[in-house]
Structure 1
Amino acid sequence: MNNQHLDQLLKKAITAGILPDGTHIEAPENRPWPVVLLTALGAWLAAIPLLAVVGLMLGSTIIHSVAGPYIVGLIVLAAAILPLRKQNTPLFIEQLAIPALITGSALMAYGLFGHLPGHFACAILALLAGGLTWAIPNPWLRVLLGATSAAFTGTAIALYIKNSHGAWLALHALLLLWLLASAAQRSVLSAKALLAAACESFLTGWLLVILAGLAFNSGMTFLAGASLGNNAFAVIMNEAAPQLSTTSKLFALSSSLLALAAGILPGRSWPALRPYSGAAIILAALAWFMPALGAVLLALSISLLAGRWRSASAAGLAATWIIGAFYYQLNWSLGNKALLFMLAGSLLGAIAWRALAPKISTTATPEQALSPRRKTGIILSAASVLLVANVGIWQKENLITHGQPLYIALAPADPRSLMQGDFMQLNFQIPFDTPSSSGINHQSRPFIVMKRDSQNIGSAQRIHHGEPLAANELKIELSPKNSRWVLVTDAWFFKEGEARRWAQARYGEFRVMPDGKALLVGLKGEELKGL
């Protein structure tokens, strides 16, 4: 859009009374991000000793008095707001005002939490953040203030409820407030552009807190736990996951109704989506099992309808997180979870196929039809995949049938994990260093020599260097795993609910070929008894 077109739109808006007289288009600021970053760093470094000096000048008596935190906090906030409201404020002064804004708010919070109950203090701080939104014109600061206001409002609601379900109720109360504010912005504030713009930034920050809270409240998502390991964040996320989520019918019903509304709303505004309206029922069914999903889908739908693409992207990411978190619901088996998603995916695919099939059949041209060469390529590709898979299966079956049996004692190890289903982490007794610590070349896989007794129980002897083996010896190829060499594998997968059965394992049962290829085929208990 060129400048002439923008000027025409501006004149029309002023004539219609939407914008006040004197409104003009400001030239975009040309601030390279390295300059902004370095200036901000300098301002923050200068602000720390400056605020410390101010604190020492005021003294502890004023800060710890009843009115002291409020008076000093308001003075610091006013000193921070004034440069932020001025036009063409130097970048250093602007960045210097940010820590002052945080300090003033912290002083107010210090006084409020010291003199009032927690939920009252949070409510007042939420209103303070809302008031600062109208006082500060910077859009990115308004987003942060909206997020701050939402966080304090949700905390106030949760503290007031004092219930184990407080987080879920507080987040959905925030969603209700966001919906009401969005409706007011569209119907009441639409004629007041400046006020509507401030409300837009504020509500964006508010929504981001809702989405983050719902995702956090759902627990760790699929595969993220493996990436993050056992760090504090992963532990907190898993502990935060409400296992009550699939047991409360009220939460399930609310989530389903919100998901149903999310599926229906786009069809009313975009007729092209009406053939896909059946997807709303499937989403509602999924939301029944995920109490945070319905609210996120509704936020996604409304953001799309309003053209808030960034908010919609955040909502889509939160929905993906929540769906992935269902993987860790312990009161469902992996088989049932897989069946649920397979059924949902099949139904969604069928709906899409039914909606698209008439268009494809009426618009397809002979050139778009599959040629014999393409059909042959598809068939050959499918045959190649089946061939590779079956060759691998045949190799394993051949090893199991013709390999020599060998039993190796297990050493204590972490018994279970949820990643990839239930499995035992195995650690076989090897009384010497593996090649990763003895300097053997990692370019070729090393072998370990096992000595068998009359019961085919093996004991590790040494690393094989190509020397002939005794009659009662076998070599086994080691496998790389987590920057170390392991004996074939370090895990035994089993069906969910059978942990007690496999906890009795004392030996790993292998089949070994003369060339060192080996496969773990089972676990044995005391005296090689079957489990």
Structure 2
Amino acid sequence: MSHPLLEKAIAAGLVPGDAHVETPESRPWPVVLLTALGAWLAAIPLLIVIGLMLGDTIIHSVAGPYFVGVLVLAAAILLLRGQDIPLFVEQLAIPALMVGPALIAYGLFTHLPSALACTLLALLAGGLTWAIPRPWLRVLLGAASAALTGCSILIWIKNGHSDTHSELWLALHTLFLLWLLACAVQYKILNNGAKALIAAAFESFFTGWLLVILAGLAFSSGMTFLAGASLSNSVFAEIMHEAAPQSATSHSLFALSSTLLALAAALLMGRSWPALRSYAFAAVILAALAWLMPALGAVLLALSISLMAGRWRTASSAGLACAWMIGAFYYQLDWTLANKALLFMLAGSLLGAIAWRALAPPAAASTRTMISPQQKWGIALTAACVLLAANIGIWQKENLIARGQPLYISLAPADPRSLMQGDFMQLNFQIPFDTPAVGDISNPSRPFLVMKRDKQNIGSAQRIDHGEPLAADEFKIELSPKNGRWVLVTDAWFFKEGEASRWAQARYGEFRVMPDGKALLVGLRGDGLKGL
């Protein structure tokens, strides 16, 4: 098969004259998926039977895990290195490739210190990279090696303090320095055709290595903007909250390192693409952001190196990590929301102006854009619909406030502050029984809470309405779905930043309720229904 790139390589003497490009085997993904499923279903019982045949005596002996693990691993390598092996056999080797190192890891962690065990396993993953000629497996092995190396570094630098973020930052940046060293070796030593096979394995392995670094740096930055709303109840969100820095500028050394890495990224980009030098002010803005976000500088440098090398997938991953980190700065508690908004508005405006200048066509080539009458009518109609919908909602709320009956419901303790949409109190109204779980929220019918009102209009919950007749002093109030449960109208009260002490005195929620059960929270009251 003739290939232009191959012909140029032969002419330059990089590859032998009889080299040829093999036609890749066509494997539709449904076939691969079904074959892999069948192989895994066959491999798992087979491995269980082998484990039962070996018995506890061998597995729990000193040399047993290593002996069995090496045998299983060797079998997997032989299968994967075979020429033109069937797809089923290839997929059958993957479970064995996982079980072998798992047995070796069991033995290492049993007989050696954890840091040394992690180091040896990382070296094993690196050695397997050269033995297994599958690029996607090499990427996974590189990721495993990076994770194990990072764990080893974390264990070594653990000094008994509780500053988890500092230790994680040091471990991740140590991994990043090793990746930079690997890039230098690849550029200086492996950048020729004679070592193409080594370079291919090197490239796949350190691609997985970099992906782990990017994920770790994003993880160490904390939860990004708006992701906390959908992940607020997950274990993942709690872990990220614990690992996240409580102050973006708590470590000046980290901030300085991040800034220097961001400037290095700008210098490399300017050296590779001289046209970018006229937009050097953008580098200053990014360096300033890197000072505030200690993990951003390394990701910007990884992004620039990936772009210069044409590694578009890793560049996309680095760009995604940058966006995550910038969004995570929203949750830093040592800045007020107003100052953070001002920072992002200023940085975004300056970067947008630079981008507009770079993308703007020359004056001679610009043409006046004409808007047709249909487009004008469409814009006007859209604006009218938006205004109509907004004003209908406002009218409904105003009508409820004006005509609804007053009702006060006592508050139960809850988290007093969050940072999603400015400061607000998370409310928890006292209901002496559990409300039903939300099933299908799309169902238009909502449950009602039956309540009583005393002479001061203080309401007390009685039961969930199931259609029973109401007593003379009872009324219904509609519940609303929120975070997988039914709540009383809302679970939040928004207020101006800096007024937390004022609203912390709240003891009652003030509602307006219509006869059909529609209700609206209009305020909070203190002890004795005193206005706040």
Q: State the TM bucket, normalised to the shorter chain.
A: 0.7 to 0.9
1:299 equivalent among 293, 299, 302: 302
Return the offset for 1:201.
Answer: 0.8
Q: Deviation per CA, 1:149-193: give whole Å up to 9, x if none.
A: 111111111111115422111111111111221222123112122
Measured at CA, do residues 119 and 355 of structure 1 come closer, stay the same or move farther in structure 2, by a change above 3 Å? same
The aligned counterpart of 1:351 is: 354
Matched AA of 1:414: A
Matched AA of 1:233: F
- Of the structure 1 ranges 404-413 and 425-434, higher mean CA displacement relative to structure 2 is found in 425-434
Pairing 1:33-72 to 2, within 5 Å after superposition? 33-72=29-68
Pairing 1:108-147 to 2, within 5 Å after superposition? 108-147=104-143
Cα RMSD after superposing both structures: 3.9
Distance 1:117 1:517 in 2: 64
Return the offset for 1:256.
Answer: 1.9
The aligned counterpart of 2:249 is: 246
Counterpart contact for 1:410–1:426, Cα < 8 Å = no
Distance 2:156 2:447 in 1: 63
Distance 1:516 1:76 in 2: 67
The aligned counterpart of 2:202 is: 199
- Of the structure 1 ranges 381-390 and 146-155, higher mean CA displacement relative to structure 2 is found in 381-390
Counterpart contact for 1:154–1:174, Cα < 8 Å = yes
- Of the structure 1 ranges 171-180 and 257-266, higher mean CA displacement relative to structure 2 is found in 257-266
Measured at CA, do residues 506 and 270 of structure 1 come closer, stay the same or move farther in structure 2, by a change above 3 Å? same
Q: Which runs of 5+ in 1 are unaligned?
A: none
Distance 1:391 1:53 in 2: 69
Pairing 1:138-217 to 2, within 5 Å after superposition? 138-163=134-159, 164=163, 165-191=166-192, 192-217=195-220
User: How many residues of Structure 1 are paired with residues of Structure 2 in the alignment?
Assistant: 518
Matched AA of 2:521: L
The answer to whether the aligner puts 1:273 opposite 2:269 as a matched pair is no
Counterpart contact for 1:411–1:428, Cα < 8 Å = yes
Counterpart contact for 2:143–2:205, Cα < 8 Å = yes
The aligned counterpart of 2:90 is: 94
Matched AA of 1:296: V
The aligned counterpart of 1:282 is: 285
Q: Deviation per CA, 1:461-499: give whole Å up to 9, x if none.
A: 998x9x9xx9xx999984743377755433211345554
Q: Which runs of 5+ in 2 are unaligned?
A: none
The aligned counterpart of 1:361 is: 363
Q: Deviation per CA, 1:18-62: give whole Å up to 9, x if none.
A: 235654322211222232223222322333333344444445444
Counterpart contact for 1:263–1:283, Cα < 8 Å = no
Matched AA of 1:33: W
Matched AA of 1:302: I
Matched AA of 2:284: I
Counterpart contact for 2:224–2:328, Cα < 8 Å = yes
Counterpart contact for 1:423–1:493, Cα < 8 Å = yes
Matched AA of 1:29: E
Distance 1:446 1:12 in 2: 73
Measured at CA, do residues 136 and 390 of structure 1 come closer, stay the same or move farther in structure 2, by a change above 3 Å? same
Distance 1:348 1:311 in 2: 23
The aligned counterpart of 1:336 is: 339
Return the offset for 1:259.
Answer: 2.2
Counterpart contact for 1:408–1:428, Cα < 8 Å = no
Counterpart contact for 1:255–1:295, Cα < 8 Å = yes
Measured at CA, do residues 376 and 180 of structure 1 come closer, stay the same or move farther in structure 2, by a change above 3 Å? same
Counterpart contact for 1:158–1:166, Cα < 8 Å = yes
The answer to whether the aligner puts 1:415 opposite 2:415 as a matched pair is yes
Matched AA of 1:412: A
The aligned counterpart of 1:494 is: 495
The aligned counterpart of 2:406 is: 406
Measured at CA, do residues 206 and 427 of structure 1 come closer, stay the same or move farther in structure 2, by a change above 3 Å? closer
Give the TM-score taking structure 1 as reference length. Answer: 0.83
- Of the structure 1 ranges 131-140 and 414-423, higher mean CA displacement relative to structure 2 is found in 414-423
Matched AA of 2:213: I
Residue 416 of structure 2: SS of its match in structure 1? coil
Distance 1:278 1:375 in 2: 38
Distance 1:223 1:230 in 2: 13
Measured at CA, do residues 237 and 431 of structure 1 come closer, stay the same or move farther in structure 2, by a change above 3 Å? closer
Residue 183 of structure 2: SS of its match in structure 1? helix
The aligned counterpart of 1:425 is: 426
Measured at CA, do residues 506 and 42 of structure 1 come closer, stay the same or move farther in structure 2, by a change above 3 Å? same
Distance 1:484 1:244 in 2: 33
Measured at CA, do residues 156 and 392 of structure 1 come closer, stay the same or move farther in structure 2, by a change above 3 Å? same
The aligned counterpart of 1:27 is: 23
Distance 1:431 1:240 in 2: 36
The aligned counterpart of 1:309 is: 312
Measured at CA, do residues 515 and 269 of structure 1 come closer, stay the same or move farther in structure 2, by a change above 3 Å? same
Measured at CA, do residues 371 and 150 of structure 1 come closer, stay the same or move farther in structure 2, by a change above 3 Å? same
Residue 412 of structure 2: SS of its match in structure 1? coil
Give the TM-score taking structure 2 as reference length. Answer: 0.83
The aligned counterpart of 2:222 is: 219
Return the offset for 1:207.
Answer: 0.8
Distance 1:378 1:273 in 2: 37
Distance 2:234 2:450 in 1: 37
Q: Deviation per CA, 1:180-232: give whole Å up to 9, x if none.
A: 21222123112122221111111111111111111122222222232234122
Measured at CA, do residues 61 and 405 of structure 1 come closer, stay the same or move farther in structure 2, by a change above 3 Å? closer
Distance 1:12 1:352 in 2: 38
Measured at CA, do residues 409 and 64 of structure 1 come closer, stay the same or move farther in structure 2, by a change above 3 Å? closer
Return the offset for 1:451.
Answer: 7.8
Q: Percent identity?
A: 71
Return the offset for 1:443.
Answer: 5.1
Measured at CA, do residues 474 and 210 of structure 1 come closer, stay the same or move farther in structure 2, by a change above 3 Å? same
Measured at CA, do residues 527 and 360 of structure 1 come closer, stay the same or move farther in structure 2, by a change above 3 Å? farther
Counterpart contact for 1:475–1:515, Cα < 8 Å = no
Return the offset for 1:372.
Answer: 9.2
Residue 141 of structure 2: SS of its match in structure 1? helix
Residue 196 of structure 1: SS of its match in structure 2? helix
Counterpart contact for 1:264–1:277, Cα < 8 Å = no
Matched AA of 1:363: A
Distance 2:316 2:48 in 1: 41
